[in-house]
Amino acid sequence: MDHAETSVTVYGKRAVVEALGAEGVRVERLVLARDAAPSVRREVQAAAREQGLEVEEATAARVHSITGDARNDQGVAALIALRRVRDVDAFTQSLKGAAAARPVRVMALDNITNPQNVGMIVRSVVGAGLDGLLWPQAGMPWVGGLIVKSSASSIYACPIVRCPTLVEGLWALKRAGFRLYGLEAGASADLFSLAPVHRSAFVIGGETTGISPEALELIDERIAIPMHGPIESLNAAVAASIVCFTVMRTSAKR
């Protein structure tokens, strides 16, 4: 995957300062408004000095033109390259040789279009220690301010596995020996009783449409989160979080 596809703009004091210190990030440009709040300027400049990075001084209007979010950028923006992004073929190649012996767990997203949901799912993927988040270029927003914020900047540590479409990504995983589990309300298999196989990928669909028919054709097993009372389904980010921690807990016991 070429460099341009991994470059994103982040903004706001917290997101930028955390990017400056993140191992999974290379900061390519740092722009700070001359009239940004003194506390913002001090913290950003101190973090930049610690990393040996040059700060580009600019007008507030210039920063706003870079971020497109004058209300929330706090007068600071950074162009960064995410280092933990690989295409799906490179990811599956990395599982050969000595790496083939260890279990691998991947989350895949289908038509999750709300950036806040995506960010919260990223946070769960990183927090649970999954090996990858399959991220289709079609049907999902790419990393932006809302995703960075809702992920609490954990996007910087997320092992992103990019693919042109979800179906293409799922096919690549199947060819590499992955079993595909699809989360579906009413499925007979119970997530909490599941024993994931050596290489497992879990597909989460959108709240209104669920998993697309094209992706469902590739699913090996449909699983459900047991529900009680009148509740039929959960928010996609909540469901993904339950899946992440359940499968990693199960894996640790095996």
Q: Quick check: 17 and 44 in contact, CB under 8 A?
A: yes
- Residue 1: the pLDDT is 41
158 and 217 fall within a common domain: yes
Position 160 pLDDT exceeds 70:
yes
How many Å is the Cα radius of gyration of the chain? 20
What CATH number is attached to the domain comprising 45? 3.30.1330.30
What CATH number is attached to the domain comprising 190? 3.40.1280.10
- Residue 144: the pLDDT is 85
173 and 187 fall within a common domain: yes
Going from the C-alpha of 23 to that of each of 83, 131, 154, 233, 236, the distances in angstroms are 8, 17, 11, 37, 29
pLDDT digits (tens, 9 = 90+) for 118-151: 999 999 999 999 999 999 998 889 998 889 989 9
103 and 131 fall within a common domain: yes
Please give the Cα distance from 119 to 155 (Å, whole number).
Answer: 7
30 and 116 fall within a common domain: no
Provide the pLDDT confidence category of residue 229 given band limits of 50, 70 and 90.
low
- Residue 252: the pLDDT is 54
115 and 218 fall within a common domain: yes
120 and 223 fall within a common domain: yes
Choose the final residue of a domain: 31, 55, 82.
82
What average pLDDT is seen over the chain? 90
Burial class (CB in 10 A: 0-12, 13-18, 19+), 216: middle
Choose the final residue of a domain: 82, 117, 135.
82
pLDDT digits (tens, 9 = 90+) for 28-62: 999 999 999 999 999 999 999 999 999 999 999 99
104 and 139 fall within a common domain: yes
Stated as kind and residue range, the H or E segment containing 252 is helix 236-253
pTM for the model stands at 0.88
- Residue 231: the pLDDT is 67
32 and 15 fall within a common domain: yes
List b or e across 3-20, with b for residues whose CB sees 16 or more CB atoms inside 10 angstroms: eeebbbbbbbbbbbbbbb
Choose the final residue of a domain: 82, 108, 133.
82
Domains contained in the chain, number: 2
**What are the tokens at 156?**
């910087």
Position 2 pLDDT exceeds 50:
no
Task: Give the domain range for residue 186.
Answer: 85-253
Q: Which of 102-111, 141-150, 215-224 has the lowest mean pLDDT?
A: 141-150
